[in-house]
């Protein structure tokens, strides 16, 4: 089987599938490959440019999405006020609002609702669809709380979005706050940036694997021709195994299996490094293509 992989015909086909990119000089080849990979990631994660632009513009000032007087929200405001116990303490009110929003907005991933890996909706969008993930729920909860007289703002640790108020936090407070939306704009807590690897691992674990396989295979494909075919096949196996470990280890936001996350990420990184730095195999491929008979 592996002998067949090293045949001149297979080598010729696989090398040519990179459209001759490997024949370009490095200063043209590398930017072009990164451009192809980046466009692939964008197409997989944000296939609708208009919605992607709205999402980014919303994150410029998430607190601007908090609309306590939004017309679409007023029936929920009336229902919430009618269900609140008289003279309810602030902590109980926060818990009541959280339960209310969870009941009114069943949880649904953004890629199922919007077709994007992530989308921060307005109050009207969330209410009209009747289902949302943590960010849409947080926007609605913050709006309801402001209507009740609470100060509220949007916060995130990159993997989860919740609400901070003058009487505590609600909507399932996450780990270390990395971004807090304030009246003056986005406030970045630099210590919270340590949550990025954890958030990425969680995102990989819960995102549809069929979409992620497109990114993985395109990345592997772009590295073909820089290593021998046996090494390329083994590296693909390592990428797939590392991807499987990441999926298995990161799906529980509260209690991830850290050793699976680390092992999976390390295996994928090692496999990519093997493809990147095993230049002898790539040279052998080019020789086979130009002179398959070794003459």
Q: What is the residue extent of each domain of the chain?
A: 2-46+198-290, 57-188
Please determine, for residue 4, whether its predicted confidence score (pLDDT) is greater than 50. Answer: no
At 227, the pLDDT band (50, 70, 90 cuts) reads: low
In three-state secondary structure terms, 107 is strand
Q: Is there a contact between 177 and 190 (Cβ–Cβ < 8 Å)?
A: no
- At 42-69, the pLDDT tens digits run 999 999 999 999 999 999 999 999 999 9
d(CA 79, CA 94): 15
Task: Provide CB contacts within 8 A for 50, sequence distance 6+.
Answer: none
- pLDDT of the residue at 13: 52
Stronger pLDDT, 1 or 100, i.e. the higher one: 100
- At 12-36, the pLDDT tens digits run 555 555 657 777 888 888 899 999 9
Please determine, for residue 295, whether its predicted confidence score (pLDDT) is greater than 60. Answer: no
DSSP state of 85: P
- pTM summary value: 0.84
d(CA 118, CA 287): 45
- pLDDT of the residue at 287: 47
Please determine, for residue 146, whether its predicted confidence score (pLDDT) is greater than 90. Answer: yes
- What share of the chain has pLDDT > 70, as a percent? 87
Locate 24 and state its tokens. 């370009």
- At 252-288, the pLDDT tens digits run 888 889 899 999 999 999 999 998 887 544 444 444 4
d(CA 110, CA 254): 20
Q: Residue 4: in which H helix or E strand, if any?
A: helix 2-5
- pLDDT of the residue at 14: 52
| Cα 86 to chain centroid, rounded | 42
Q: Residue 165: in which H helix or E strand, if any?
A: strand 161-165
Stronger pLDDT, 46 or 190, i.e. the higher one: 46
Other beta carbons within 10 Å of 243: 21
- pLDDT of the residue at 195: 86
Contacts 24+ apart (CB under 8 A), 208-211: 208/111, 209/243, 209/247, 211/44, 211/45, 211/111
Please determine, for residue 226, whether its predicted confidence score (pLDDT) is greater than 80. Answer: no
What's the topology of domain 57-188?
C8orf32 fold (3.10.620)
């Amino acid at each position: 089987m592996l002998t067949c992989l090293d045949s001149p015909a297979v080598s010729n086909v696989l090398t040519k599938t990179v459209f001759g990119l490997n024949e370009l000089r490095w200063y043209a080849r590398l930017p072009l490959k990164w451009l192809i990979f980046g466009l692939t990631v964008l197409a997989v994660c944000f296939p609708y440019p208009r919605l992607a632009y709205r999402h980014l513009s919303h994150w410029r000032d998430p607190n601007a999405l908090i609309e306590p007087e939004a017309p679409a929200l007023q029936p929920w405001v009336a229902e919430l006020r009618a269900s609140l116990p008289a003279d309810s303490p602030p902590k109980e009110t926060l818990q009541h609002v959280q339960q209310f929003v969870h009941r009114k907005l069943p949880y649904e991933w953004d890629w199922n609702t919007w077709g994007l890996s992530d989308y921060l909706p307005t109050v009207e969008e969330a209410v009209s669809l009747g289902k949302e993930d943590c960010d849409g729920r947080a926007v609605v909860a913050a709006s309801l709380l402001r209507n009740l007289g609470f100060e509220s703002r949007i916060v995130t640790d990159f993997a989860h979005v919740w609400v901070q108020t003058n009487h505590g936090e609600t909507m399932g407070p996450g780990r270390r706050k990395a971004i807090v939306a304030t009246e003056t704009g986005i406030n970045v807590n630099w210590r919270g940036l340590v949550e990025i690897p954890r958030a990425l691992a969680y995102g990989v674990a819960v995102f549809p694997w069929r979409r992620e396989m497109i990114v993985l295979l395109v990345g592997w494909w772009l590295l073909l021709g820089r290593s021998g075919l046996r090494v390329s096949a083994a590296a693909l196996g390592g990428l797939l195994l590392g991807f499987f470990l990441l999926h298995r280890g990161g799906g529980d936001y509260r209690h991830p299996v850290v050793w699976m996350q680390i092992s999976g990420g390390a295996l994928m990184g090692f496999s990519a490094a093997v493809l990147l730095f095993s230049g002898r195999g790539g040279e052998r491929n080019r020789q086979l293509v130009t002179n398959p008979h070794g003459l």
